[in-house]
């Protein structure tokens, strides 16, 4: 991976799949110029959910969050590119869709903080931890993309 690029974990949450918004969410990341390097549809088990959201353990919404994220499949992905962690956070919008700007994924498709469609790692350190939680090294494909110099100046 080029030094100026980052990788980040993105989940299309159960509400995104149930509502048929997986394609719309993936399209937005793709159109921005980020590159997918890993992708799978999975049913998250309770153990993985608790590890993924460990920072929120003890909070009032934690049990509901674990219940929700394990209730139906998600699409787990790793996206790569310049500033990928921050770019995905901007594309997602604020945690509460009511506070997310129009044009963001949560601002365009969501109304409720507990049904906010998408997860993105919130820092490079979190991204590293979360990518490793969901994917083995073998599942991450470092593929060349011919359009690259038209997206990022070499
Ligand atoms: P983030 O997804 O924008 O990074 P976090 O603060 O990391 O937001 O919270 C993780 C997830 O927990 C949120 O995406 C949301 O689904 C849920 N959550 C956060 N705060 C609340 C709350 O106050 N009530 C209900 N659910 C919440
Ligand atoms: Mg978070």
116 occurs within a structural domain: yes
Ligand 1 atom having least distance to the Cα of 55: 7
Distance (Å) of CA 152 to CA 17, 79, 83, 92: 31, 15, 11, 22
The confidence band for 154, taking pLDDT boundaries of 50, 70 and 90, is confident
Residue-wise pLDDT tens digits, 89-99: 999 999 999 99
**In a domain? residue 112:** yes
Residue at 127 is within a domain: yes
- Please report, for residues 7, 8, 46, 148, 153, the alpha-carbon distance to residue 75 in angstroms, rounded to integers and kept in the order given: 16, 14, 16, 25, 30
Choosing from 113, 115, 117, 119 the residue with most ligand 1 atoms within 8 A of its CB, the one to mutate for a pocket test is: 113
Over residues 120-141, the pLDDT tens digits come to 999 999 999 999 999 999 999 9
Distance (Å, whole) CA 12 – CA 17: 7
> Quick check: CB of 61 below 6 Å from ligand 1?
yes
Asked, for residue 56, whether it belongs to a domain, the answer is no
Helices 84-92 and 22-32, axial angle in degrees (round to 10)? 130
Range of the domain at 9: 5-40+77-139
Ligand 1 and 94: CB distance under 6 A: no
Q: Say how many domains are in the chain.
A: 1
Does residue 114 lie within any of the structural domains?
yes
User: What are the residues whose beta carbons fall under 8 Å from the beta carbon of 14, sequence distance 6 or more?
Assistant: 68, 69, 71, 72, 73, 74
Reply yes or no on whether the pLDDT at 142 is more than 90. yes
pLDDT in tens, 42-89: 999 999 999 999 999 999 999 999 999 999 999 999 999 999 999 999
d(CA 140, CA 151): 21
Catalytic residues: 119
Residue 65, ligand 1, Cβ within 6 A: yes
101 lies in a domain?
Answer: yes
150 inside domain: no
Asked whether the beta carbons of 131 and 40 are under 8 A apart, the reply is no
CATH number at residue 26: 3.30.70.141
List the one residue out of 127, 46, 121 whose CA is nearest residue 91: 121
Has residue 54 been placed in a domain? no
């Amino acid at each position: 991976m080029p030094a100026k690029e980052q990788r980040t974990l993105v989940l299309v949450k159960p509400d995104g799949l149930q509502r048929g918004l997986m394609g719309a969410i993936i399209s937005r990341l793709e159109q921005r110029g980020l590159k997918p390097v890993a992708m799978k549809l999975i049913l998250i088990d309770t153990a993985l959910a608790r590890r993924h959201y460990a920072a929120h353990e003890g909070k009032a919404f934690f049990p509901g969050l674990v219940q929700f994220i394990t209730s139906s499949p998600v699409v787990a992905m790793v996206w790569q590119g310049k500033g990928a962690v921050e770019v995905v956070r901007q594309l997602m919008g604020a945690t509460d869709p009511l506070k997310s700007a129009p044009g963001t994924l949560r601002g365009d498709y969501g109304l409720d903080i507990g049904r906010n469609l998408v997860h993105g790692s919130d820092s490079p350190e979190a991204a590293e931890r979360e990518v490793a939680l969901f994917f083995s090294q073998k599942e991450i494909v470092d593929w060349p993309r011919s359009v690259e110099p038209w997206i990022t100046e070499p």
